[in-house]
Amino acid sequence: MADLLQVQFLSAGYGEAVVLNDVSFSLAEGETLALLGRNGTGKTTLINTLAGATRQHGGKITLAGLPLHTMPSHERAAAGIGWVPQERNIFKSLTVHENLTAVERPVRSGHAARAWTPERVYGLFPRLAERKTNLGTQLSGGEQQMLAVARALVLNPRLLLLDEPLEGLAPIIVEELLKAIAHITRDEGLSAIIVEQHPQAILAISHHAVVLDQGRVAHSGPAQELKGQAELLDRLLGVSRDHA
C-alpha cells in the first residue's frame, strides 16, 4: 500500500525553541496512527507542525506527494489536512449547522460517493442533528468536540489529525466518540493520526503506533503489538496495567 504521508527527519518548534528532533515515520492510505508519549514529549507540537502551526527547522513532510512543509496552514487544509486541535476552534457565535457550512469543501474528484456533507455527519453524530440550530456556546463540552470533528470531516480531508479528542469528556461521550472515530477510520478508510492519553483505547483502533520521548521517536511499530505489551507500555508511557 502506497504511503499517503511521509515525515522525514523533521525538526520543529516555536520560535527558536526546537521541540521535535529528526522525527521520521510514514502512514499509508487508509491507515490510522496512534501518537503516544508522556506529557511534554512533543505530541501536540508534531500535530501542530503537520497542520502548519509551528516553525519548522528542518526535514520534509509530504502528503500524497505534495510538499506540505512548503505550504502555509490554509493551503495544507486545501491539500487534504483535517485538523482537530485541543482547543476545538469551533465558531461559538454560529449555530451547529452554520459551523459546518462555513468550512465545507467539495470532495476530491472521483470520491463523490464518500463525500462528508453536513447531513452525513449528522448521521454520524445524532446529537448534533438534534442541536443543529443551537449556538456553539449552547453545546456541552462533548458536543463541542463532536462538532470539531464534524467540521474537520466536511473539509473532506485525506488525513485527519485528532489532538486528544477524548480529553475531559464524560465516559458515555468518550464511548460515542471512540465508536465514531473507529467508523471514520476502520469502516470509511480515512487516514488519521490520533494523539491520546488513553493508549489502550486508541491502540485498539489503530494500525500503527509511534511513541515520542523528548521530541524524538522512542518506539515505532504495529499498534496491536504494543497494546499487548504491558511492560513496554509502562516503560514508554508510565502507564500501569490497571490504568492503561
The DSSP code sequence of the chain is: --EEEEEEEEEEEETTEEEEEEEEEEEETT-EEEEE-STTSSHHHHHHHHHT-SEEEEEEEEETTEEGGGS-HHHHHHHTEEEE-TT----TTSBHHHHHHHH--PPPTT-GGG---HHHHHHH-HHHHHTTTSBGGGS-HHHHHHHHHHHHHTT--SEEEEESTTTT--HHHHHHHHHHHHIIIIIT--EEEEE-S-HHHHHTT-SEEEEEETTEEEEEEEHHHHHT-HHHHHHHH---TTT-
Residues of the chain with CATH 3.40.50.300: 1-80+158-171+183-244
Distance CA 101, CA 83 (A): 17
Instruction: Give the pTM.
Output: 0.93
Per-residue pLDDT, 242: 39
Q: Which residues of the chain have pLDDT under 50?
A: 112, 240-244
Per CATH, the number for 1-80+158-171+183-244 is: 3.40.50.300
Per residue in 78-121, pLDDT (tens digit) is 999 999 999 999 999 999 999 999 999 987 655 545 799 999 99
Per-residue pLDDT, 113: 52
